[in-house]
C-alpha cells in the first residue's frame, strides 16, 4: 500500500492506531466500503459546569442535520457526561488535548464559555469560522456579532433580568441558527438501568416522584425548607404517589433524616452514571435549578422546577412540567445571600408544588 492511498479524511481515522472498521472487520484503505469522508470539522469548546455541558448537546443534533458527514470534536472538563456514540471525539481539558488542538485546523470552532482558558483556546486554534467568546486585545471579546447578546446579559444583572430568550435560543443564535426544539443528548448506562428496575417493584404500580432536595453550594438561596419537603412527601403518599429522595453527598445527611422521619425511600448516593440511571426510573422529578434539572430534561422527564433567583425565561422544559416560584417574588437576582429576614423560598408552599405535580404527572395505571 502507498501512503497516498490512506484515507486520512475518513471519519473513522484515529491517527496512529487502527480504525474501527479495520480492527473489527479487517477492512483496509483504499477499498474499504466503510469509508466516510469528513465534510466539516467542528470543534465545540464547552468546559463546564456539568449541567451547562448537558444543555449544550442539542447543538450536536443540529450540526449533524446541517452538515451530514461532519466530524465533531468536543473538549470539556466533564467528558464522562457526553454521549459517546453521538460525538466523534471527546477530549478532556488538559495539556495534551489543548496542545494537540492548537496544531489542528477546523472549519468551525465554537466557544460557549467566558472563562479565560476557553477564550484563549478559541483564539489559538485554526478555524475558518470562529463563533462565541474569544480572547482578543488582552480581554474577553466576541468572535462573531451574534455572541454579543449572550455576553452582555452575562455582564449586567439588570439587562439579564429583562432577557426573554432561553439558553438554548441564545447558543443556537451564536451559531447562526434558530433553535427548533432539538432535545438534550444523554446516555443511560444499561447495567445501572437494569439494576434500578428494582425501583418499579418498590413503587408497586404507583407514579414515582423523584425529589431532589439539594441545590449545590454556590447559591444556597435556592434551598427549600426541610419541613416543606416533609409535608410534600406526606401529600404525595396520601395522593397515591411513590416519593423517592434524591441527592448527592451534600444532601446525604438531610435525606437520611427525612427518610427516617417520613418513611420515604432514600436509595443513597452514587456515581454520576448510576445517578442518571436511577433518575431514569422516576416518572416525574421535582428539583431546584441544579444539575438534576438538566438530567431530568435530558431524560425527557416531566420536571417541576423551583426557581427564585434566576430569570425563568432562561429555562426550556420542552413543554414537560412547570416552573414554580415564590408567591412574593425574589429580590436577590443571582444572589448567594438573602436580603430578606423572611426568605422568599418560605413563600413557595408545598400545596402549590403538589398541585403542579398533579397537573404534570403521567397518568396512573
* Cell 429522595, located at residue: 245
Indicate whether 25 belongs to any domain: no
The count of structural domains within the chain is: 2
Q: Identify the CA nearest to 245 among candidates 278, 212, 275.
A: 212
Alpha helices in the chain (DSSP H): 20-25, 50-54, 58-66, 95-101, 116-124, 148-155, 157-161, 167-174, 190-195, 198-203, 226-238, 252-262, 272-280, 291-298, 350-360
Single out the residue in 174, 207, 240 at which a domain terminates. Answer: 174
Asked if residue 212 and residue 156 are part of one domain, the reply reads no
CA distance 238 to 81: 36
CA distance 204 to 35: 50
Indicate whether 318 belongs to any domain: yes
What sign results for the dihedral spanned by CA atoms 161, 167, 168, 173? positive
Q: How many CB atoms lie within 10 A of CB 135?
A: 20
CA distance 228 to 226: 5
CA distance 18 to 318: 41
In whole angstroms, how large is the CA radius of gyration of the chain?
23
Q: Which residues of the chain have pLDDT under 50?
A: none
Region class of 260: left (phi > 0), else alpha (psi between -120 and 50), else beta: alpha
CA distance 304 to 252: 21
- Domain of 93, CATH number, reads 3.40.50
Indicate whether 329 belongs to any domain: yes
| Domain span holding position 142 | 38-174
CA distance 15 to 262: 56
Asked if residue 250 and residue 194 are part of one domain, the reply reads yes
Contact between 69 and 63 (Cβ < 8 Å): no
**pLDDT at position 37:** 92
CA distance 156 to 229: 34
Asked if residue 326 and residue 208 are part of one domain, the reply reads yes
pTM for the whole structure = 0.91
Asked if residue 223 and residue 114 are part of one domain, the reply reads no
**pLDDT at position 364:** 63
Sheet containing strand 241-246, edge to edge, reads: 241-246, 207-212, 284-288, 303-306, 321-324
Asked if residue 235 and residue 159 are part of one domain, the reply reads no
CA distance 128 to 106: 7
Asked if residue 322 and residue 204 are part of one domain, the reply reads yes
Amino acid at each position: 500500500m502507498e501512503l497516498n492511498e490512506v484515507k486520512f479524511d475518513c471519519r473513522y481515522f484515529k491517527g496512529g492506531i487502527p480504525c474501527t472498521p479495520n480492527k473489527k472487520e479487517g477492512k483496509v484503505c483504499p477499498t474499504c466500503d466503510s469509508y466516510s469522508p469528513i465534510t466539516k470539522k467542528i470543534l465545540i469548546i464547552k468546559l463546564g459546569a456539568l449541567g451547562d455541558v448537558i444543555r449544550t448537546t442539542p447543538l450536536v443534533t443540529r450540526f449533524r442535520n446541517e452538515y451530514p458527514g461532519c466530524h465533531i470534536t468536543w473538549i470539556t472538563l466533564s467528558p464522562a457526561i457526553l454521549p459517546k456514540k453521538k460525538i466523534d471525539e471527546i477530549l478532556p481539558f488538559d495539556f495534551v488535548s489543548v496542545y494537540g488542538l492548537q496544531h489542528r485546523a477546523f472549519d468551525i470552532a465554537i466557544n460557549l464559555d467566558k472563562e479565560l482558558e476557553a477564550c484563549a483556546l478559541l483564539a489559538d486554534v485554526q478555524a475558518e469560522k470562529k463563533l462565541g467568546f474569544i480572547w482578543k486585545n488582552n480581554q474577553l471579546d466576541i468572535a462573531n456579532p451574534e455572541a454579543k447578546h449572550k455576553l452582555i446579559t452575562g455582564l449586567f444583572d439588570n439587562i439579564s433580568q429583562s432577557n426573554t430568550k432561553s439558553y438554548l435560543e441564545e447558543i443556537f443564535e451564536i451559531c447562526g441558527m434558530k433553535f427548533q426544539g432539538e432535545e438534550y443528548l444523554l446516555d443511560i448506562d444499561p447495567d445501572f438501568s437494569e439494576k434500578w428496575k428494582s425501583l418499579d417493584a418498590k413503587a408497586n404500580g404507583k407514579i414515582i416522584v423523584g425529589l431532589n432536595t439539594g441545590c449545590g453550594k454556590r447559591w444556597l438561596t435556592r434551598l427549600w425548607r426541610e419541613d416543606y419537603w416533609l409535608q410534600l412527601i406526606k401529600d404525595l403518599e396520601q395522593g397515591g404517589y411513590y416519593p423517592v429522595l434524591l441527592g448527592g453527598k451534600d444532601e446525604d445527611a438531610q435525606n437520611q433524616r427525612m427518610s427516617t422521619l417520613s418513611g420515604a425511600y432514600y436509595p443513597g448516593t452514587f456515581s454520576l452514571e448510576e445517578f442518571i440511571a436511577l433518575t431514569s426510573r422516576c416518572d416525574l422529578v421535582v428539583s431546584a435549578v441544579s444539575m438534576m434539572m438538566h438530567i431530568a430534561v435530558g431524560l425527557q422527564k416531566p420536571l417541576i422546577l423551583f426557581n427564585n433567583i434566576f430569570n425563568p425565561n432562561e429555562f426550556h422544559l420542552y413543554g414537560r412540567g412547570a416552573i414554580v416560584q415564590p408567591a412574593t417574588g425574589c429580590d436577590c437576582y443571582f444572589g448567594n445571600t438573602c436580603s430578606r429576614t423572611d426568605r422568599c423560598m418560605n413563600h413557595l408552599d408545598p400545596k402549590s408544588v403538589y398541585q403542579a405535580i398533579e397537573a404534570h404527572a403521567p397518568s396512573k395505571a
